[in-house]
Chain A
Amino acid sequence: MTQVDFYVLLPLILLVAWACVLLLVDLFIPKQRKWLTALLAALGLALTLGFTLSQLGLENTGFKSMVVVDGFSVFVNALLLLSGLLGVALAYGYVKRMGLERGEYYTLMLFSISGMMLMAQAADLITVFLALELLSLPLYVLSAFARPKADSEEAGLKYFLLGAFSSGFVLYGIALVYGATGATSLTGIVAAASAGTSSLLLTIGAALILVGLGFKVAAVPFHMWTPDVYQGAPTAVTAFMAAGAKIAGFAALLRVFATAFPSLAVDMAPVLWAISALTMIIGNLIAISQSDIKRMLAYSSIAHAGYILMAFVPYGNPEVAPVSIAAGLFYLVAYVLTSFGAWGVVIALEQKEGRGLAISNYAGLGKKYPALAAAMTVFMLSLIGFPPTLGLVGKFYLFRAVLSGGYVGLAFIGVVTSLISAYYYLRVVVTMYMHEGEPETEREFWLGLTTAGTALVTVIVSLMPQGLFAWASEAVLKLF
């Protein structure tokens, strides 16, 4: 390991080491003081975030081109670490209240995040697979963390079985790609492909990798696990999973396809088009009929995977792709912030034994807890794509990119499904403000801070998106 290798992976190494140490330290923290573990976990994430940001502007590869650091990886890693921090803040009070307060919780989160970060830095298909497993395994455990609750165990098992299946797809895809090109490194693949070995084998391999990663980001038709897992898993885990796994999945998808398979764009664009369209349509349509807020948000998260996938469709068109991918990244940020906020509100209303999770439990929230209801309104408007929220700016950016790519039909599906989505997001608002009720909520400092903070950022950044725009478009520059 040279110094360069070390520096390329520095944040990741720090995080993994921190997680290992935390696992040991946690043994000596008494049961009444588990807040210390949460604090240490947050500290580790914050430190890693600092190191990650210090890598801004760095372009390098390490470990014999197995990993890479560039603007894109820094952007994604920063977003992942931010999700980690938000995830810890949401979990802190929740695990205590639900009797899930065990030190492993935070350690598992840290391990999962390190997997996600590795995913963003992977420059070799083998690394992608390694990262995929490293991020997934802790998530399987976390989903089942509320054992012996049957729902949670079911969620864990279901996620594990289907996840293992999808990992199989990815691995098989990698094998086929290796068979076609004789390389697993992304640059090696593209070199072999441009030398004229573009074969059916390569296409099938890429398609299988798409299937596996499509599973991680919950794209239709690989979304079947999402509602059950999101509903069954402890809500704080769901919030983290909805953001983190999606970011990592999209990062890998983007890196692999943009770097290794640009030659397949002609074959892949229609497939991505169809997946994106289907994901938007099915996610939004099924969400309409949900009466449980967790399931509703699960379908909403599927639908948003569809919107983000829109950005990938023109990935082979060098003129549009940078704008389009930057739009995807921007939308990802908008979604992550909004979704964390919305899950925060869900956590605030959730009671023991799974009470307080029906949308009808939100009746009267506007009257009794105006601030919480106002925050939830902001999140719902942002998910629809309404001013003055980040969701609108994100959609504007995204649809513009898709239209520049010439995909008018896809943009049309995008706006129509946004209209459909308005119906079920508004139902939450209707219930909060226009129905009478006596909702119960939990007041907890970190939870309140997370919800208020994400709501404010959602509004303020939508009015001043300049900086984030610039960062997102800079991050993707070197990919193409």
Chain B
Amino acid sequence: MEFLLQPLTLVTFFPLLGVLVLLFLPSENKNLLRWTAMITSLLTFGISLWVLGMFTASNPDLQLVAKYDWITVAGWNIQYHMGVDGLSILLVLLTAFLTPISILSTWTAVEERVKDFMIFFLLLEVGMTGVFLAHDLFLFYVFWEFTLVPMYFLIGIWGGPRRIYAAIKFFLYTMAGSILMLLAILWLGIQGGTFSVPELISAGGIPSTIQFWLFLAFTAAFAIKVPMWPLHSWLPDAHVEAPTAGSVILAGVLLKMGTYGFLRFNIPLFPQAALQLAPWIALFATIGILYGAAVSYAQADVKKLVAYSSVSHLGFVMLGMFALNSQGMQGAILQMVNHGLSTGALFLLVGMIYEQTHTREIKVYGGLWKITPILCSMMLIVSLSSMGLPGLNGFVGEFTILLGAWGAGTAGGAFESFGGVWWAALSALGVIMAAIYILYMFQKMFLGPEGSIVAEVKNHGHALRDLNWREIVTIVPILVFIFWIGLYPKPFFDLMGPSVDNLVAALQTAALAMP
């Protein structure tokens, strides 16, 4: 049982302790339930900081490895294998950081079945952290599929009017991708005699035609999760119907599981296929950037607008990653974190308004700045961060990605056919479009003449109020990071640098071996 005391086991499974406590608490005492979940998630965040403290940034390999035999009979070779490196450390921290914030945001928003809500939320945290830390394909698959279950309940029970449709669509869509990945995982396990990812990578030697198919099978799972255009149609439904905290986690962490999957499995396991298919992924990513931005602009529902903006932002992440050079990948990882922070905060703020007005239609809003100045100034910062204003986090990520994409296929790139300049130029258009739809949303909702909703809320007997202390405390930690990454991103890049360089070097070796 010594494996229970491994730092990575603790950070993953600690929320289960909270679940266990919650099970035995009375469901009437809602604040007790909330505090239990809150403290559990804060302690988990504490453990994640402890993990960060033990993490050596200059070491590109897996660290704090916990490796135990799990199922080793009958030709099986499955291990409990957890480890953290530069590719995953930030995402683990992001998960542990966003979970307490989301729980705090539900304080008054979730009044029904609080106990079940908190249990599902903590279970979700276990699944997400596990996904980022697992290095055995079977273990990874278990965590990966497991995240679906609590999220499905969160959307389906506490969601909006079309929640059931959205929940089932989310579940089936994601599962459709995963089952193809399952076949690919099994194939790898049979051929390699192990499910351990590092061992499979170092063994290598998968013929390039088979790499191609396996790459596609993994892509099916990850591209749906990201979601990449044209597989994104579940996302707006899930986002719009999910409760605020669900949207935050969905945008903030769950989508990153897809991009992380590409980085962790697709690229290192099938480097030749990755090199071969990178232009195609870049094409779809660029289409996603432009399409997402254009469709965002057309939305009448603010949550849908933010949802489509995610399609656009994650297009950047994919583009940077498949530039397959150090800048692109580092930008991609940072942008994953950025998107988690900015879009998470956007959903939180939208949720805080929605809690008072119960409508998400942009056109009924207007002139809120005078009534709710704190909310609006925070919204402004987050919006500017989301559209990539220099000095805030979004800019750093997008700029690095565009640099990476520009350089792909030229001297520093791992291969020739990418045509990076064109993709960079096209997707830079996406940055401009982001400015348009976000400023448009901001202007309609918070500036100009007073919208009809202000009067309507008054008719119901209470005026719109500004953020209270709890809500401010929810947002401020995110704002801190928005500025920190925007002004001084070096520590973040330092964390991931060595691991990314390692991966790029491996790719270059693979490129040389290509026929």
User: Which residues of A approach B to under 8 Å, CB–CB?
Assistant: 323, 326, 366-367, 370, 381, 386-388, 392, 396, 399-400, 403-404, 408, 411-412, 415-416, 418-419, 422-423, 426, 430, 433-434, 465-466, 469-470, 472-473
Q: Say yes or no: B149 contacts A381, CB within 8 Å.
A: yes
Nearest Cβ on chain A to B206's Cβ, whole angstroms = 15
**Interface mask (B196-207 → A, CB under 8 Å = 1, otherwise 0):** 000000000000
- A–B pairs, 16, beta carbons within 8 Å: A326-B74, A386-B145, A387-B142, A392-B142, A400-B189, A400-B190, A415-B182, A422-B171, A422-B175, A426-B171, A430-B164, A433-B156, A434-B164, A465-B71, A469-B76, A473-B74
Q: Say yes or no: B113 contacts A392, CB within 8 Å.
A: no
**Interface mask (B167-191 → A, CB under 8 Å = 1, otherwise 0):** 1100110011001101100110110
Contacts of B74 in A (CB 8 A): 323, 326, 469-470, 472-473
Q: Say yes or no: A403 contacts B71, CB within 8 Å.
A: no
Q: Say yes or no: B179 contacts A415, CB within 8 Å.
A: yes
Q: Say yes or no: A416 contacts B179, CB within 8 Å.
A: yes
Q: Say yes or no: B168 contacts A426, CB within 8 Å.
A: yes
- Asked if B75 is at the interface (CB within 8 A of a chain A CB), the reply is yes
Q: Say yes or no: B73 contacts A469, CB within 8 Å.
A: yes
Which residue of chain B lies nearest to A367 when distances are taken between CB atoms in the complex? B113
**Interface mask (B117-160 → A, CB under 8 Å = 1, otherwise 0):** 00000000000000000000010011101101100110011000
Name the contact of B138 in the complex, choosing from A396, A404, A423 (C-beta under 8 A): A396
Q: Which residues of chain B in 53-101 are interfacial with respect to chain A, using CB atoms and an 8 Å cutoff?
A: 70-76
Q: Say yes or no: A323 contacts B179, CB within 8 Å.
A: no
Q: Say yes or no: A404 contacts B190, CB within 8 Å.
A: yes
- Asked if B304 is at the interface (CB within 8 A of a chain A CB), the reply is no
Nearest Cβ on chain A to B158's Cβ, whole angstroms = 10
Known: A386-B149, A430-B168, A434-B167. A403 touches B183 (CB 8 A): yes
Which residue of chain B lies nearest to A322 when distances are taken between CB atoms in the complex? B74
| A-B interface pairs (CB < 8 A), number | 85
Contacts of B256 in A (CB 8 A): none
Q: Say yes or no: A415 contacts B183, CB within 8 Å.
A: yes
- The complex places the Cα of A386 from the Cα of B149 at a distance, in Å, of 9
Name the contact of A419 in the complex, choosing from B143, B148, B176 (C-beta under 8 A): B176
- Asked if B163 is at the interface (CB within 8 A of a chain A CB), the reply is yes
Q: Say yes or no: A412 contacts B186, CB within 8 Å.
A: no
Known: A388-B146, A469-B76, A473-B73. A399 touches B182 (CB 8 A): yes
Q: Say yes or no: A399 contacts B183, CB within 8 Å.
A: yes
Q: Say yes or no: B171 contacts A415, CB within 8 Å.
A: no
Nearest Cβ on chain A to B440's Cβ, whole angstroms = 35
Q: Say yes or no: B156 contacts A430, CB within 8 Å.
A: yes
Nearest Cβ on chain B to A194's Cβ, whole angstroms = 28
Q: A381-B149, A396-B182 are in contact. List 7 more A-B contacts (CB 8 A).
A: A323-B75, A399-B182, A415-B179, A422-B172, A426-B152, A434-B156, A466-B72
Name the contact of A403 in the complex, choosing from B145, B171, B187 (C-beta under 8 A): B187
Which residue of chain A lies nearest to B182 when distances are taken between CB atoms in the complex? A415
Contacts of A399 in B (CB 8 A): 182-183, 186
Q: Say yes or no: A423 contacts B172, CB within 8 Å.
A: yes
Nearest Cβ on chain A to B119's Cβ, whole angstroms = 10
Which residue of chain A lies nearest to B112 when distances are taken between CB atoms in the complex? A367
The interface residues of chain A, by DSSP majority, are classed as helix
Interface centre among A404, A411, A434 (most CB of B within 10 A): A434
- The complex places the Cα of A396 from the Cα of B142 at a distance, in Å, of 11
Using C-beta atoms within 8 Å of the partner chain, give the interface range for chain B: 35 or more
Contacts of A416 in B (CB 8 A): 179
Contacts of A370 in B (CB 8 A): 116
Which residue of chain B lies nearest to A472 when distances are taken between CB atoms in the complex? B74
Known: A399-B183, A415-B180. A387 touches B164 (CB 8 A): no
Name the contact of B190 in the complex, choosing from A381, A403, A418, A472 (C-beta under 8 A): A403
- The complex places the Cα of A323 from the Cα of B186 at a distance, in Å, of 14
Q: Say yes or no: B182 contacts A423, CB within 8 Å.
A: no
Q: Say yes or no: B179 contacts A418, CB within 8 Å.
A: yes
- The complex places the Cα of A345 from the Cα of B156 at a distance, in Å, of 22
Contacts of B72 in A (CB 8 A): 466
Which residue of chain A lies nearest to B115 when distances are taken between CB atoms in the complex? A370
Name the contact of B71 in the complex, choosing from A366, A430, A469 (C-beta under 8 A): A469
Known: A426-B171, A434-B156. A412 touches B183 (CB 8 A): yes
- The complex places the Cα of A465 from the Cα of B78 at a distance, in Å, of 11
Contacts of A408 in B (CB 8 A): 183
Nearest Cβ on chain B to A195's Cβ, whole angstroms = 34
Nearest Cβ on chain B to A155's Cβ, whole angstroms = 33
- The complex places the Cα of A400 from the Cα of B183 at a distance, in Å, of 8
- The complex places the Cα of A323 from the Cα of B172 at a distance, in Å, of 30
Known: A399-B182, A403-B183, A403-B187. A387 touches B168 (CB 8 A): no
Q: Say yes or no: A392 contacts B145, CB within 8 Å.
A: yes
Nearest Cβ on chain A to B404's Cβ, whole angstroms = 36
Which residue of chain A lies nearest to B76 when distances are taken between CB atoms in the complex? A469
Which residue of chain B lies nearest to A395 when distances are taken between CB atoms in the complex? B182
Q: Say yes or no: B189 contacts A419, CB within 8 Å.
A: no
Nearest Cβ on chain A to B330's Cβ, whole angstroms = 32
- The complex places the Cα of A426 from the Cα of B152 at a distance, in Å, of 10
Contacts of A388 in B (CB 8 A): 142, 146
Contacts of A470 in B (CB 8 A): 73-74
Nearest Cβ on chain A to B188's Cβ, whole angstroms = 10
- The complex places the Cα of A396 from the Cα of B140 at a distance, in Å, of 13
Q: Which 3 A-B pairs have the closest CB atoms?
A: A415-B179, A473-B74, A387-B142
- The complex places the Cα of A326 from the Cα of B183 at a distance, in Å, of 19
Q: Say yes or no: A403 contacts B156, CB within 8 Å.
A: no
Q: Say yes or no: B153 contacts A419, CB within 8 Å.
A: no
- The complex places the Cα of A422 from the Cα of B71 at a distance, in Å, of 26
Contacts of A386 in B (CB 8 A): 145-146, 148-149
Which residue of chain B lies nearest to A377 when distances are taken between CB atoms in the complex? B149
Which residue of chain A lies nearest to B159 when distances are taken between CB atoms in the complex? A434
- The complex places the Cα of A419 from the Cα of B148 at a distance, in Å, of 14
- The complex places the Cα of A387 from the Cα of B150 at a distance, in Å, of 12
Nearest Cβ on chain A to B389's Cβ, whole angstroms = 41
Nearest Cβ on chain A to B203's Cβ, whole angstroms = 18
Contacts of B75 in A (CB 8 A): 323
- The complex places the Cα of A465 from the Cα of B76 at a distance, in Å, of 11
- The complex places the Cα of A399 from the Cα of B138 at a distance, in Å, of 13
- The complex places the Cα of A392 from the Cα of B142 at a distance, in Å, of 9
- The complex places the Cα of A386 from the Cα of B180 at a distance, in Å, of 14
Contacts of A387 in B (CB 8 A): 141-143, 145-146
- The complex places the Cα of A400 from the Cα of B182 at a distance, in Å, of 10
Which residue of chain B lies nearest to A417 when distances are taken between CB atoms in the complex? B179
Contacts of A419 in B (CB 8 A): 172, 175-176, 179
Nearest Cβ on chain B to A324's Cβ, whole angstroms = 11
Contacts of A418 in B (CB 8 A): 179
Which residue of chain B lies nearest to A415 when distances are taken between CB atoms in the complex? B179
Known: A323-B74, A326-B74. A434 touches B163 (CB 8 A): yes
Contacts of A412 in B (CB 8 A): 183
- The complex places the Cα of A196 from the Cα of B167 at a distance, in Å, of 60
Contacts of A415 in B (CB 8 A): 179-180, 182-183
- The complex places the Cα of A408 from the Cα of B152 at a distance, in Å, of 30
Contacts of B175 in A (CB 8 A): 419, 422
Nearest Cβ on chain B to A136's Cβ, whole angstroms = 33
- The complex places the Cα of A326 from the Cα of B72 at a distance, in Å, of 15
Q: Say yes or no: A434 contacts B157, CB within 8 Å.
A: yes
Nearest Cβ on chain B to A203's Cβ, whole angstroms = 31
